Chains A and B, each alone.
Chain A
Amino acid sequence: MNEQFKPSVKELYSSLRAPESLKEKTLAAVGTGKTEKKARILELNFKTLGALAACFLLCFGLLLSGIFESGSVNISLDGNNITADAVIGRASSVTYLPQAAPMSAKSADNAQTANALKLDVDIDGKTTVCVEGAILALENEQGQLCAVSTEVEIDGEKAVYVLLEDADEIKVTFTSKKEEKTLQITENSDGTYSVGIK
């Protein structure tokens, strides 16, 4: 055990010094309890969270801008072109509504009153998406909010429809059968609307 390194090796090793700045940092750390490493880890966590948030916002933005799907939904019904820019996916079976007032949906065997509160969109004929507050997503070419949807039961079948302002027909999708029918819409004297199978 009496062996030793050459003196020059020991001198070299001994010449290694802690950086001057470390003392100040350490004194600050014992005062605050926050070390450099903790600060770096915290910064890293914030960066990670920031990156995740940025990714989320980017994806959300892409989704809204229709890059993932065709976000622009054009519905042509009686010459009324309705664009739903914020609707995710291609709404193949969106129907229409004159206004968001309580309305009655009538058919030969079934009639009920429904409040138009949501938009149901059938994406590529596979999924029915219910979007609360979809009235914000549908507007006509003049930028007017003009469509909203609701779910009704017609002939014992649940169906969704969207009514377009100034239109006299409505397309209804039966959610269980994925079947589409065109209904006739008529305005009643009390301001409500009646809908019947055409």
Chain B
Amino acid sequence: MEVNRIQGIFRKILQGTLLVGACVLSSAGYAFAGVEVKDAWIAEPPPGAMSAAGFMQIHNSDARARTLLQASSPVCKRIEFHQSIVENNIARMDELEHIVIGPNSTFALELGGYHLMLIRPEALHVGQRVKLQLEFDGGEQVIVEAEVRKLLPESEP
């Protein structure tokens, strides 16, 4: 039993090693072994902003939970995982250590909820494409390109 478990872990490590750097750009998004990142975008930060919010959908088609351990980008000092919370009309932000994507499910990083927080970003403008490096458990990494967009699309009068 124990031997099987250890063998299983070794197999996973081996799989992980083979997949490191093997991120595939599919038509729908960025994927590796059961994890797919779709529709990544960054809200254009106002001038002089200390942070910029990033959003995406992370789909895990694996039968086990996957963990997004950390994220980084050449356009900012560091990236944190945040959750916007509104209680009694009071807005606050909670920081998360990592993001767990359940088995066969999609974790949505979206406006008003979970998001990436790019700390001290350089000036970013609509249309720019920004590289984000995401590091998952097992040492797997994926690099996604996130488009800089207006926080809200302009509605027509």
A binds B: no
